Amino acid sequence: MANVLIFNICLVLMLSRVESCFIPKSLYIIVPDTIPAGYTITTVEVANCDTESMHLTLEDQRFTITSNRAIVAVTPVSVAPGGRTFSVWARDNSGLESEMVVHLVHSAIREKKPTGFLKRSKRRSPPPFNILENGKGPFPRNIEKIVSDSEAKHQVYYTITGPGVNQNPLELFSLNPGTGMLMVNGPIDREEFPWFILTIRVFDKLTNMETYLPLDIKVVVDDVNDNAPTFVDQLQFTVPEQSVAGTVVGKVNATDRDLAESLHTKIKYFLTTGLDLFAINSETGVITTATNTLDREAKDKHMVTVLIKDMDGAVNGLSTTGTATITVGDINDNN
């Protein structure tokens, strides 16, 4: 009986521990229409969680979570007229997972002003709509409603033309003719198609006459870190023998096909071999000598391994390695 009682007490304590760790179910945050790279959205608040074992993940690769639980934009992100949402999950040693839905809105959304994108009297270009490259299905997937509810009540239908519809790449986008809902029908490679300009037209159902001015909308394909950095030049350098420590050997040049001026293309440089003889500046890729004992007569070539990694060298960055050949040049040091 005593053993059963002890077990029940332990079970209650365990369940209490599991239920006491939580994050908010939802969070509404006012942000700029365009969120710049490096912008901190918010810090995830947790309560009674085992912070040592807790792991936070999010579904939108345009953002990352730092070690102090701050959600930071990795690339510039536009907030569409309808706002933007994504989920954050928290898990600790309890094994249970909690979800928080983050709603990003800007002041224009909170004021609930009708968009009316297609009205003649108030025609204006909406902010770009954003979709994530290499998006996973199921497809088709809704992107945004192009018209306001008031316009959708009229006896009209909508058409769409442009790249991604009736131009290459064909049938990537479609528009519900009755509701004006824009949809994407498959994954997109941002490096091949960084954006699309689509033209929306409105026609009267009875007369088939165009009733509103055409509207061009821009769909921006947001970057994910799907390209590892690559070397630009051959890794071949020459340095005179007996050069003093700190002598420049050469510069490693690298590039990355992902979005420029984002963490996805911020490259760090490392040497993984030859560290007794050479060093590399992690920011610039400049290789220097780490000794003054290079002797061509003893060894005229050194092979060192260079590693380049994006995401500013973070653990989750993509990397590439290459072998640099450093030839030791001769000086007149022998009788």
Question: Each residue of 9-45: pLDDT tens digit?
Answer: 344 334 343 444 567 777 778 788 788 888 888 888 7
Question: Tell me: the pLDDT tens digits for 151-191?
Answer: 545 688 999 999 999 999 999 999 999 888 999 999 999 99
CATH topology of domain 230-329: Immunoglobulin-like (2.60.40)
Q: What is the pLDDT of residue 113?
A: 40
**Tokens 């002598």 belong to residue:** 247
Most confident stretch, 118-132, 193-207, 273-287: 273-287
Q: What is the pLDDT of residue 40?
A: 87
Q: What is the pLDDT of residue 229?
A: 97
**Three-state DSSP state, 12:** helix
Of 220, 24, 8, residue with least CA distance to 103? 24
Q: Residue range 277-294: average pLDDT?
A: 97
Q: Give the chain's mean pLDDT.
A: 82
Q: Which of 4-8, 114-118, 323-327 shows the lowest per-residue confidence on average (mean pLDDT)?
A: 4-8
CA distance 51 to 43: 14
- Predicted TM-score (pTM) of the model is 0.65
Confidence label for 321 from pLDDT (cuts 50, 70 and 90): very high
Percent of the chain scoring above 70 in pLDDT: 81
User: In this model, does residue 269 exceed pLDDT 60?
Assistant: yes
The answer to whether 18-110 and 230-329 have equal CATH topology is: yes
Question: CA quadruple 5, 9, 15, 19: dihedral positive or negative?
Answer: positive
Q: What is the pLDDT of residue 121?
A: 36
CATH architecture, domain 18-110: Sandwich (2.60)
Question: Which one-letter amino acid corresponds to residue 26?
Answer: S
CA distance to 152, 207, 301, per residue, from 203 (Å) = 12, 8, 73
Q: Parallel, antiparallel, or unpaired: how do β-strands 26-30 and 97-105 relate?
A: parallel
Q: Residue range 274-301: average pLDDT?
A: 96
Question: Tell me: the pLDDT tens digits for 224-259?
Answer: 899 999 999 999 999 999 999 999 999 999 999 999
Domain boundaries, the chain: 18-110, 129-222, 230-329
Residue 163 DSSP one-character state: B
Question: Tell me: the pLDDT tens digits for 68-83?
Answer: 888 988 888 878 766 7
For residues 291 and 277, the answer to whether their CB atoms sit within 8 Å is yes
Question: CA quadruple 204, 208, 213, 216: dihedral positive or negative?
Answer: positive
CA distance to 172, 176, 248, 335, per residue, from 143 (Å) = 12, 11, 52, 77
Strand order in the sheet with 40-43: 40-43, 70-73, 63-65
Q: What is the pLDDT of residue 194?
A: 94
Confidence label for 313 from pLDDT (cuts 50, 70 and 90): very high
CATH, domain range 129-222: 2.60.40.60
For residues 255 and 229, the answer to whether their CB atoms sit within 8 Å is yes
Percent of the chain scoring above 90 in pLDDT: 43
CA distance 254 to 249: 17
